[in-house]
Amino acid sequence: MAINNQMQVMKQMKQELTRFMMLYKFALQELETKIEILQEEFQLLHDYNPIEHTASRLKSPQSIAEKLFRKQHELSLTSIKQNIKDIAGLRITCSFVSDIYRISDMLTGQSDLRTLEVKDYIKEPKPNGYQSLHLLVEVPVFMSDRTEHVCVEVQIRTIAMDFWASLEHKIFYKYKKEVPLHLLRELKEAADSASALDRKMERLQKEIEAIKEEQEDEGGDELVGLLLRQQNLSLPPALLGLFEDDRQK
């Protein structure tokens, strides 16, 4: 009888945990859909997509339990929801630093999302050189019988930031000993180099955009002149004056 009761309790706990993790999975899917819509809008209407790629992940139950144990919190679903804020994570990789804040503003400006926390490791990098913009957002998940608000961690970074962070993680994965000081210095130097590359590439992009805009303006003036000559139109002096003013500007 006691064994049957224990099995029933374990079965119930498993069902509750499955339902609990399902909420975080659905919250990630909601956010991923929002990002896909933004990507498609940029591509179709603006001819520029600031999002290079995205990646999502869910912490495993074992990883969650280990984090609760390290933080000395109670092992319960309520405790997990209150104390573990990165169960669901979405990483967005952008082309340039300005794109990071652009995407952040678009996400946090959506009326059904609530921003819980912002950590800007770009303006204030971590001591080892790590840079990224971290957001904690609350996502509504509409179930059959209720609405749950689920916390998702969003990390937004450039390609260079992501390259550095990925390799840093791989280099020190499961390394528990103290890292030698000279390696920490080199790691920080590599982060500084990645940051300098971001700044240089963004400056180059802005210069190219300025040149393209200038060429488009010149092309527009030439097109107007060509149309007037072909159609042999006689325009009022006041309207011709407007074109002259635009050229002088």
Q: If we measure between CA atoms, which residue out of 53, 37, 30 comes closest to residue 114?
A: 30
Q: How far apart are CA 113 and CA 3, in angstroms?
A: 45
CA dihedral 121, 125, 131, 134 (to 10 degrees): -20
Whether the CB-CB separation of 9 and 1 falls below 8 Å is answered with: no
Q: Which one of 153, 189, 213, 214 is the catalytic residue? A: 153
Residue 92 CA: distances (Å) to CA of 38, 42, 175, 229: 12, 15, 27, 51
186: three-class secondary structure by DSSP: helix
Beta bridge partners of 154: 90, 135
- 54-90 core/surface letters (b: 16 or more CB in 10 A; e: else): bebeebeeeebeebbeeeeeeeeeeebbeebebbbbb
153 counts as catalytic: yes
* Residue 174 CB neighbour total at 10 angstroms: 4
Q: Which two tokens stand for residue 11?
A: 């079965």
Q: Which two tokens stand for residue 231?
A: 């159609």
The catalytic site residues sit at 153
